[in-house]
Amino acid sequence: MEVEIWPTCIVLPANYRLGLQISGHDFEREPPDEPHEAWVSRGSGPWLHTHPEDRPAEAFAGRTTVHTGRDTDSHLLIPVIPPRDGTVARMST
């Protein structure tokens, strides 16, 4: 199974960890307590994938199993792009 992750730009300091959450559906969030919030993220970003034309049941109503552990070949492939000048990027504290 391939899962699309939208492009982003994140620079992590050395020894930081990257977490990945795999969910079988959009995790709907409650709106913030602050009524002045202009942009509210409710599902995967601002979207909930509930429209039958966007997520037809015959393609998306099944069960997906992600196997992990020594006897499986699950992996997350993340490109590491070095700086153009070849130096190691450092973050100041």
Per the document, the length of the chain is: 93
pTM of this structure: 0.40
In a domain? residue 15? no
The Cα–Cα gap between 56 and 59 comes to 6
Written as one string, the DSSP assignment of 47-85 is: B----TTTS-HHHHSS------STT------------TT
In a domain? residue 91? no
Residues of the domain holding 47: 40-80
Q: Considering its fold, how many domains does the chain have in total?
A: 1
Name residues of the chain where pLDDT drops below 70: 1-5, 24-32, 34-48, 86-93
* Predicted pLDDT of residue 72: 81
In a domain? residue 35? no
| Residue 3 three-state SS | coil
In a domain? residue 74? yes
